Amino acid sequence: MNVNQSSFYWLNSVITVVSILSFLTFFFIKLKFSTKEIDLEKVYQKNSVIKVLYWLAILILIGVMGQLMRVKLNWDFGTVHINAFSIAKTGKYLSIDYFARYPNNNVILLFLVFCYKVIIFFFNTSSIEESYTYMIFINAFIIWLGIFFSYRIIRENFSQNYSFIALFSMIFTLPTLFYANIFYTDTVGFFFVAFVLWLMGRYSFSCDHNKKIMLLIVIGIMIAVGYKIKAFVAILLVAFILNVFFNSKDRWLSRISNIICLIISFLATLFLIGLTTTSIIPVSESLSNENELPLTHWIAMGLNEKTNGGFNQMDYNNIKTFPSYKSKNEEAQRIIKRRIDSRGVIGTSNFVLFSKWTRTWADGDFATKDYGLWDPARDGIIQHLLRNRSISFLFQFTWFFILVLIAVGTLFFNKKTDVANISYYSFFGFVIFLSIWECNSRYVYCFIPIIVVMVITGIRNIKSIITRK
């Protein structure tokens, strides 16, 4: 089967499966109800068969999209996967210096090693290409979980009707499915953001003290694990603490004790993760000192006007030439000072507000066109639509309205749920973080659950304004 035939096969599969499931769903409705007018919300609520078919169709759609958009293993995600497969198959690291340089990828490496070991055990795969086919389906399941918990957030904090709007938005107006081909920190981070935000919603509804303490412990654990996979997840910790301080109705002593419980859970989990990764991954102290990139390097890169604050290969090559962590950090600090001094305060502010924000927030497809066409393994209709920017135009068009709804939700700041407040605090923190850090529109992907909450808040505010009139 050649590449075009294979792409046609997968595309035909998704059309066929979704069509059959849709037919079965509405056929079941027809048999189950004899009335002419059917309340689809009630049908969905009361019938487990429809629920299963509904979510199964979404899971299959994500998996097939991942196969249709499959790319060859390249950039960082490829390096991590190639090493993970080698470790799972032979126990050998192919580039241990990479994990000394990027310790933030150590946890995702261990998770991928586990996944590859399971795949090799059950399917007896001999090559990484064959194994990655199964990895795409695992990635699809992780994305599916993120979508499911995002849906639950809206359903539990707003209404069933709004949850269907959120689901439609995630599948058709945001590029949620378009990273199903890349099993990396972005998609796993997407799940953690959704799951943590859902747990926070459960906490706000709970009146049982013991249950709230248990939820705080679990939230702390999940944020710590998520942080080790995608650092942005930690922003939710700060947002949650702010919400407890400013919006909680509990007594101050109770607020402080709850925050302390959360922080202890978070820090204890970080400590245990650190012990685990250092005991498993053979990165010596000298190797780490020689290779690890300081945080200041990414701030310096975020000030590089040649890439509008994005990744810059020359900056990367330059910092690698310095022999120790200390010398790298000193060089990065010099670069930061030089770049800020050369522009001045006003010039630096203009650079952040116009150059960096445009690179980060003006791209409605979250760099799908770049990563989806980065050495694609197939050359089918999806790749064609990415090349002629049809998909990008669709997402760009819908992204404009999403930003408008976010603005409406922010400007008309009436009484909101705790989840909405946490989402707004998180989004504000995320904007600040990416204004300082090396930026990439791909990074916005893991915050889709936050964006969806703000969109629904904007829609609800517009509805309330119209209703009042």
DSSP string across 60-84: HHHHHHHHHT-B-S-HHHHHHHHHH
Q: What is the DSSP letter of 264?
A: H
CA separation for the pair 132, 84 (Å, rounded): 11
Residue 11: per-residue pLDDT: 52
Residue 45: per-residue pLDDT: 60
Residue 405: per-residue pLDDT: 86
Residues near 108 by Cβ (< 8 Å), separated by ≥ 6?
Answer: 80, 184, 185, 188, 229
CA separation for the pair 192, 226 (Å, rounded): 6
Q: What is the 3-class SS of 381-434, one letter each residue?
A: HHHHHHHCCHHHHHHHHHHHHHHHHHHHHHHCCCCCCHHHHHHHHHHHHHHHHH
CA atoms within a 13 Å half-sphere pointing along the CA-CB vector of 111 = 18
Residue 292: per-residue pLDDT: 95
Max Cα–Cα distance, the chain, nearest Å: 76
- Other CB atoms closer than 10 Å to residue 467's CB: what's the count? 7
Residue 310: per-residue pLDDT: 94
What is the per-residue pLDDT across 428-457, written as a single tens digit (0 to 9) for each? 999 999 999 999 999 999 999 999 999 999
Residues across the chain: 469
Structure tokens that stand for 64 in this block:
């097939």
Which backbone phi and psi does 434 adopt, to 5 degrees?
Answer: -75, -15
SS3 469: coil
Helices (H) then strands (E): counts for the chain: 22, 0
For the whole model, what pTM was predicted?
0.90
Residue 469: per-residue pLDDT: 57
C-beta pairs of 316-324 under 8 Å, 24+ apart in sequence:
319/293, 323/290, 324/289, 324/290
Closest CA to 128 of 80, 85, 69: 85
Residues of the chain falling short of pLDDT 70: 1-47, 412-415, 468-469
Which backbone phi and psi does 376 adopt, to 5 degrees?
Answer: -65, 145
Residue 159: per-residue pLDDT: 84
Residue 415: per-residue pLDDT: 58
CA 162 and chain centroid, separation? 21
SS3 320: helix
CA separation for the pair 125, 139 (Å, rounded): 18
